[in-house]
Every structure is written in C-alpha cells, then in structure tokens.
C-alpha cells in the first residue's frame, strides 16, 4: 500500500486532496500516515477517522486536548505544535501533500524531503522563500517534488518528455482576480470582503486576496524560476479571465503547448497523486463550444505593482525571495485586519526589500533553513515598522 501524508488537510487544497483519496478507495487503497490541520479540529478528526491515519497533528498546542477528545476511541495518535508537524512529516511516507498556508509550510516540506519519496507541493511560499534549499534537499535525498499549483502543474505537463534546452519561454496565465478592470483610484479603497471574492477559483482567503493584488502571480513567477530553472526574462504573464488555459510553454521551433481544464484544483492534485500515470478523475469535462471564447491580454503592471517587485526579486535572487514572502505575508495580514489599504501592500513589500538590500541581511554565502528563518523574521519586523508608518499617515 502506498503511504500518504497530507499537511494542511483541513484547508481548501487539503480537502480536495482527501476527496481524491476517498474517490480512489480511501483507507482501503492508501496507508495514511499523517494528517495535519490548524483550528478546524472537528474536520481533522473526521478525516483521520475516515482515512485511519496513524497520527493527526494540529498546529496549535492549545487545541491538543480538543483533538485528543475528538479522536477518542480511534487508533489515531494526537499531537500538536510546529515541531510535532515537522516530526510527523519526517515519518516515512511515499507521497506527501504540502498544503499548509504560508511560511509555516517550509519546515514540514523540508522534513518530508529529508526522508525521500514524493512531495506534492501546493505551498508555493516554500519555493519562493527557499527554492534552492528545497531543490538541494530533494536532490540529496533522491526525493521528488511535483508541482500542485495549477499553473506549474500545467507547465510540468506541457514539458513532459521535452528536453529543457528546447524550452524558449513560459507563459503564466492569470485570471486577473476580482479587480481585473478596476481603475487605480478604486483599488485604493478596495476592502478585504471585495478582495476575497474570486471570480473563478474557490480558494482559501489568503490566496484569494493575493490573486486580487496579483501577489499570487508574483509568487508564481518566482516559483516558476526556482522550480523549472528558467531565467526570469523567459517567463511572461498573460491575463486570461476565463481561467481555462492554466499556462503555456513555448519551444524553440515556435510551438506553444497549452494545458486546458476547468478551474478545479483536483486536476492538478490528481495529476500529482497519480503521476506518472493518469487516473480517472472527477473534473467537469470542458465543453469548449459552450465556452466559446478565450481572451488574453498583458497585465497592467501600474495597477498591479506586485509583478514588477517579483521581477526585481528574481533578478536579485538569493534570500530576496524569503524577504519578499515574509513582507507580503505581513502586509496581507495588515490588509485583512483593516490596518492598511489594498495598494499599501505593494508599498510595504517594496520598502522592506529596499531596506534589506541596503544592508547585509540578504548577502549570503550559505543558504540554510536558519538563515531563511532569520531573514523571514527580519522582514516581518521591517514590514511591521513600515506598516506603522503607513497607519500614521491617516
Ligand atoms: P487554506 O487557508 O484553505 O488552508 C490552509 C491549511 O493550513 C489548513 O489546513 C489550515 O488549518 C492550516 N494552517 C493554517 N495556519 C497554520 C499554521 N500556522 N501552521 C500549520 N498549519 C496551518 O489554504 P489553501 O488550501 O487555499 O492553500 C494552501 C497552500 O496551497 C497555500 O500555500 C496556497 O498558496 C497554495 N495553493 C492553493 C490553491 C487553492 O486553490 N486553494 C491553489 C494553488 C496553491 P485550519 O484550516 O484547520 O485552521
Ligand atoms: Mg496558481
């Protein structure tokens, strides 16, 4: 039986992953090792019982008693806290889903890579903050990383069987989010409630706001560079409101291969789960005749400054990704809490990057987890300082 672990099992990606495991036979087909969640203890316990997981871990120690009670009478062990999650990730498993949100997903992802097997990577933050570290750790332990982000899964599938040297460019598609056509003036006053309303994809709140600001696409630019090892100038972004073409790869002969599908993450998750084969999946079948048209246009980098920031980060490389990711998370928290405006998010990230690049913080010779976490901490502090100054302007 294939051993499976799912980190972030109670989130949007996690629930879709569990749905696919269930459709492929659940506990009868898979030997489920570990599941992790956060505050949703009831769901975590329900998943653990259904899949007969060896261990279920909540990120929050204060919820351990509740988790224990919810698992009473089952064979699943209860644990809590970041260290327990990393420990569970180090348990032998053949396939691990990394779907914790934010930088908290980095340490468990690295722990999973440390014992080999396949890591299905939804947590883009770990590629953005520590791509070189993730790849080195994978190579050192003969582990494999399969992309789950829909764009990267699309690129991976379009590149299947091709040599890397024949790839000329990669085109990431972006839905444009709920504010695609909003003028700059209106963006200034956009609220969190408006920002989480994604037109096509049903996702967690944080990634939905990142889609509205295009910080999600910015992260994906960096993720593409790190994951596929292509130079930044070969990666483009195209706004494609229908979210049907998930991304494209251009080759030296001028051919362009696109991956199409409905906006349902179970496509990319299922591909990673069954790779290198394909298995029957629950996706709605596309009726292109009914879709009728597919639109594409270049993004407006003036209204969506996150893209230019990502390009600067890609050019600078090194620990800039870690600073970018952390500053973005702090700015996003500030926006969700109503402390700063929608456009202030990019301003804060820019300020943090400028500040940290003017000193020695990002100049490195070694790239290890401690260094990444230290930069993460410094960038969060710089982000909070910058946010306090923004607040004072009102
Ligand atoms: P959600 O917010 O829906 O779920 C996040 C998961 O992480 C939940 O299980 C949550 O637990 C858990 N969690 C929250 N905080 C912590 C913490 N501090 N430590 C450990 N676990 C925690 O996010 P998504 O599923 O939308 O996204 C997960 C990842 O996948 C992100 O990196 C995102 O960028 C990426 N992704 C998501 C896509 C999507 O369609 N949703 C598409 C492409 C990438 P609980 O809910 O129990 O509190
Ligand atoms: Mg994506």
Which of 5, 7, 12 most suits a substitution to test ligand 1, by most atoms within 8 Å of the C-beta?
Answer: 12
pLDDT digits (tens, 9 = 90+) for 226-264: 999 999 999 999 999 999 999 999 999 999 999 999 999
Answer yes or no: are the C-beta atoms of 188 and 342 closer than 8 Å: yes
Alpha helices in the chain (DSSP H): 12-23, 41-51, 64-70, 82-89, 106-114, 124-140, 150-158, 184-188, 192-195, 205-213, 215-228, 266-274, 288-291, 306-316, 320-336, 344-358, 369-392
- Beta carbon of 40 within 6 Å of any ligand 1 atom: yes
Query: Per-residue pLDDT for 320 more than 90?
Result: yes
From 216, 236, 41, 63, select the one nearest 125 (Cα to Cα): 216
How much is the pLDDT for 198?
Answer: 84
How much is the pLDDT for 7?
Answer: 99
Rounded to whole angstroms, the Cα distance separating 129 from 116 reads 21
Answer yes or no: are the C-beta atoms of 113 and 134 closer than 8 Å: yes
Angle value at C-alpha 263, between 193 and 287, nearest 5 degrees:
130
- Beta carbon of 11 within 6 Å of any ligand 1 atom: yes
Q: How confident is the model over 313-331, as a mean pLDDT? A: 96
Q: How many CB atoms lie within 10 A of CB 221?
A: 25
Angle value at C-alpha 28, between 282 and 268, nearest 5 degrees:
30
Answer yes or no: are the C-beta atoms of 35 and 98 closer than 8 Å: no
Rounded to whole angstroms, the Cα distance separating 19 from 100 reads 17
How much is the pLDDT for 391?
Answer: 67
| Residue 97: strand pairing partners | 6, 120
| Residue 251: strand pairing partners | 167
Quick one: fold of 161-262+290-392?
Answer: Rna Polymerase Sigma Factor; Chain: A (1.10.1740)
Residue 179 tokens, joined: 């504010």
Pick the CATH number of 2-147 from 3.40.50.720, 1.10.10.10, 3.30.390.50, 3.40.50.1470: 3.40.50.720
Report how far ligand 1's centroid is from the alpha carbon of 12 (Å): 7
Query: Per-residue pLDDT for 393 more than 70?
Result: no
Q: How confident is the model over 187-197, as a mean pLDDT? A: 94
Report how far ligand 1's centroid is from the alpha carbon of 297 (Å): 30
Query: To the nearest whole number, what is the mean pLDDT of the chain?
Result: 96
Higher pLDDT: 49 or 200? It is 49
Rounded to whole angstroms, the Cα distance separating 41 from 54 reads 16
Ligand 1 atom closest to Cα of 201?
40
Ligand 1 atom closest to Cα of 205?
2
Residue 283 has what DSSP assignment? P
Rounded to whole angstroms, the Cα distance separating 20 from 9 reads 12
For the chain, which residues make up each domain, given as ranges? 2-147, 161-262+290-392
pLDDT digits (tens, 9 = 90+) for 213-230: 999 999 999 999 999 999
| Residue 249: strand pairing partners | 170, 257
Report how far ligand 1's centroid is from the alpha carbon of 213 (Å): 18
Q: In what order do the strands lie in the sheet with 118-121?
A: 77-80, 55-58, 30-37, 2-7, 95-98, 118-121, 144-147
Answer yes or no: are the C-beta atoms of 88 and 119 closer than 8 Å: no
Torsion of CA 148, 153, 157, 160, to 10 degrees: -70
Share of the chain above pLDDT 70, in %: 99
pLDDT digits (tens, 9 = 90+) for 145-174: 999 999 999 999 999 999 999 999 999 999
pLDDT digits (tens, 9 = 90+) for 258-271: 999 999 999 999 99
Residue 91 tokens, joined: 């348990």
DSSP letter string, 342-392: TTHHHHHHHHHHHHHHHSSTT--S---HHHHHHHHHHHHHHHHHHHHHHHH
Q: How confident is the model over 314-334, as a mean pLDDT? A: 96
């Amino acid at each position: 039986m294939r051993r499976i672990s799912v980190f972030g099992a109670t989130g949007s990606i996690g629930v879709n992953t569990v749905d696919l495991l269930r459709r492929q036979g659940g506990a009868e087909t898979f030997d489920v090792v570990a599941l992790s969640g956060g505050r949703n203890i009831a769901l975590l316990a329900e998943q653990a019982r259904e899949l007969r997981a060896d261990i279920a871990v909540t990120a929050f120690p204060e919820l351990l008693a509740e988790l224990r009670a919810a698992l009473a009478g089952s064979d699943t062990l209860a644990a809590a806290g970041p260290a327990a999650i990393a420990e569970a990730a180090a348990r032998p498993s053949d396939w691990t889903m990394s779907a914790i949100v934010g930088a908290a997903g980095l340490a468990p992802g690295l722990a999973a890579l440390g014992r080999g097997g396949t890591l299905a990577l939804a947590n883009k933050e770990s590629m953005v903050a520590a791509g070189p570290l993730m790849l080195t750790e994978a190579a050192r332990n003969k582990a494999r990383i399969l992309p789950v982000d829909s764009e990267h899964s699309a690129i991976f599938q379009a590149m299947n069987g091709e040599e890397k040297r024949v790839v000329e460019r990669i085109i990431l598609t972006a839905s444009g989010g709920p504010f695609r056509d909003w003028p700059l003036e209106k963006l200034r006053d956009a609220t969190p409630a408006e920002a989480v309303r994604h037109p096509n994809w049903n996702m967690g709140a944080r990634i939905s706001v990142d889609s509205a600001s295009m910080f999600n696409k910015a992260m994906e630019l960096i993720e593409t560079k790190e994951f596929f090892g292509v130079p930044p100038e070969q990666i483009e972004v195209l706004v494609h409101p229908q979210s049907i073409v998930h991304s494209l790869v251009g080759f030296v002969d001028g051919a362009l291969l696109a991956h199409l599908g409905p906006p349902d993450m179970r496509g990319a998750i299922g591909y990673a789960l069954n790779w290198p084969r394909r298995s029957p999946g629950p996706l709605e079948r596309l009726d292109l005749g009914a879709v009728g048209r597919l639109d594409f246009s270049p993004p407006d980098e003036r209204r969506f400054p996150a893209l230019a920031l990502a390009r600067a980060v890609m050019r600078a490389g090194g620990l800039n990704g870690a600073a970018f990711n952390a500053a973005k998370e702090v700015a996003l928290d500030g926006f969700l809490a109503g402390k700063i405006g929608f456009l202030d998010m990019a301003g804060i990230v820019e300020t943090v990057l400028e500040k940290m690049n003017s000193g020695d913080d990002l100049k490195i010779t070694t790239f290890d987890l401690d260094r990444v976490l230290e930069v993460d901490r410094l960038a969060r502090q710089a982000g909070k300082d910058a946010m306090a100054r923004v607040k004072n302007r009102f």
